[in-house]
Amino acid sequence: MNIAMAVHDMQNNALGRAFSLALATDELGHETRVVGPSSGGLWDVLAGTAFAERCQVNPSREQLSALGDWCDAVISVKALPDSLRTATDIGRRFGVPVVLDMDDPDLEVLRYTVHQRYRKRRLRRWRASRGVARLASTARSLSTMVSNPMLQEMYGGVLVPHCRRPGSPRPFPDVSDTVTVGFIGTPRAHKGLNVLREAVTALAPVGFRLVVTARPPADGRTWEKWTGPTSLDEGLRLLESLDVVVVPSLSQTYGPYQLPVKLIDAMMSGVPVVASDLGPIRWALGDAGILVPPGSSSGLVTALSALSDPGRRMELGTAGRRRGLQMFTPEAVAVELAKLFPSVSA
């Protein structure tokens, strides 16, 4: 099959979800192309990769028509206006099935945002609420896939998690008195970076250090290294130098329903993981890592202190990689994705 994917913004991690889906469709022998708007180029994480060659930024009407002629199915990556409108327009004009991919609770966050933004301006809130209601109605009419079981409880559909190609097991860094903790990804408000910084500050006197893939803040500390945003390949290379990866997501907005792909990157690389005890993370990690209460700096201190032991780090890293190879390879995810296409082709 030829599969088109529409994203709402080619400069954020919606493109990362499209990349993950493309790994699984490649495994099934399907061809994929991705379109979407952007105020600039592609998301830095994926710019310059082979995947970028499949992506068309700000496609013209003629390019969208050519895409419609080419594709056998189209996926809307997220239930957001730009992606859903593009996908449903292609589906209607060219008679191809449309699949909705939900990897965040976007409709619920939109409803909350509308309420907060317009709570004292009733007419605007009514108009914005009507727009969200139309999105929700369109979403309900489509075949759906979701990235984790919590979203499946909300939206139904086929469970198609993120995936990564497995590399070779990474060599463990030389044992030293320093424990290097990594936060890889974009430090959005619900990601809990400040809680992690607080925990590492408490442990800095006993040799803990923190590496963050973001630009340095004004209050950067001597035990923190801020690399700036990284590409996918740079992030994977960085993993090889880390002793622990922490995924400190908070129980707010997207946090309780999000499966961070950096968790899967760490598992596949064999890096031990400490993460917030939220539904999608608990499902993905199982007992192959340490779970702590969301927002708990003291919980992170306790968990990281336990990983001062190199043997314990190696044990958890090995368990995480084993679980990742079972659940999150393109081969494993393609089995689930294949269940969807016969239903939309019928």
What's the mean pLDDT in 299-324? 95
Would you say 261 and 147 are in contact if contact means Cβ atoms under 8 Å apart?
Answer: no
Q: What are phi and psi of 41, to 5 degrees?
A: -95, -150
Q: Can you give the pLDDT at residue 128? A: 56
What six digits make up the tokens of 23? Answer: 């790994």
Q: pTM for the whole thing? A: 0.89
CA 88 to chain centre: 24
**How many angstroms separate the Cα of 300 from the Cα of each of 270, 273, 291?**
20, 11, 9
Same fold yes or no, 2-163+330-345 and 179-327 = yes
What six digits make up the tokens of 181? Answer: 């903790």
Report the mean per-residue pLDDT for the chain.
90
We find that the CATH architecture of domain 2-163+330-345 is: 3-Layer(aba) Sandwich (3.40)
Q: Can you give the pLDDT at residue 85? A: 92
What six digits make up the tokens of 59? Answer: 């496609």
What six digits make up the tokens of 95? Answer: 């008679």
State the DSSP code for 49: S
Q: 129: pLDDT confidence band, cut at 50, 70 and 90?
A: low
143-195 pLDDT, tens digit per residue, is 999 999 999 998 899 999 999 998 777 766 666 789 999 999 888 899 999 99
Number of residues assigned to the chain: 346
Q: Give the percent of the chain with pLDDT over 90.
A: 73
DSSP helix/strand/coil, 255: helix
CA angle 253, 258, 260 (to 5 degrees): 125
208-226 pLDDT, tens digit per residue, is 999 999 999 999 999 999 9
**Which of 71, 102, 73, 83 has the alpha carbon at shortest distance from 6?**
83
End-to-end, the C-alpha distance of the chain in Å comes to 14
Task: Name residues whose C-beta falls within 8 Å of residue 288's C-beta, 6 or more positions apart in sequence.
Answer: 267, 273, 316, 319, 320, 322, 323
What's the mean pLDDT in 53-63? 95
Q: Can you give the pLDDT at residue 172? A: 65
Q: Which CATH superfamily is domain 179-327 in?
A: Glycogen Phosphorylase B; (3.40.50.2000)
How far apart CA 114 and CA 123 sit, in angstroms, is 12
What's the mean pLDDT in 39-61? 93
Please return the burial class of 176, using the count of CB atoms within 10 Å of its CB with bins 0-12, 13-18 and 19+. exposed
Q: Is the per-residue pLDDT at 136 higher than 70? A: yes
Q: Give the percent of the chain with pLDDT over 70.
A: 90
Element (H, E) at 90: helix 81-94
Report the DSSP pairing between strands 224-226 and 244-247.
Answer: unpaired
Q: Is the per-residue pLDDT at 322 higher than 90? A: yes
Q: Where are the domains of the chain?
A: 2-163+330-345, 179-327
Please return the burial class of 303, using the count of CB atoms within 10 Å of its CB with bins 0-12, 13-18 and 19+. buried
What's the mean pLDDT in 263-271? 95
**How many angstroms separate the Cα of 153 from the Cα of each of 105, 257, 273?**
11, 10, 26
What six digits make up the tokens of 153? Answer: 């409880």
How far apart CA 168 and CA 181 sit, in angstroms, is 21
Q: Is the per-residue pLDDT at 343 higher than 90? A: no
Would you say 293 and 327 are in contact if contact means Cβ atoms under 8 Å apart?
Answer: no
Higher pLDDT, 291 or 173: 291
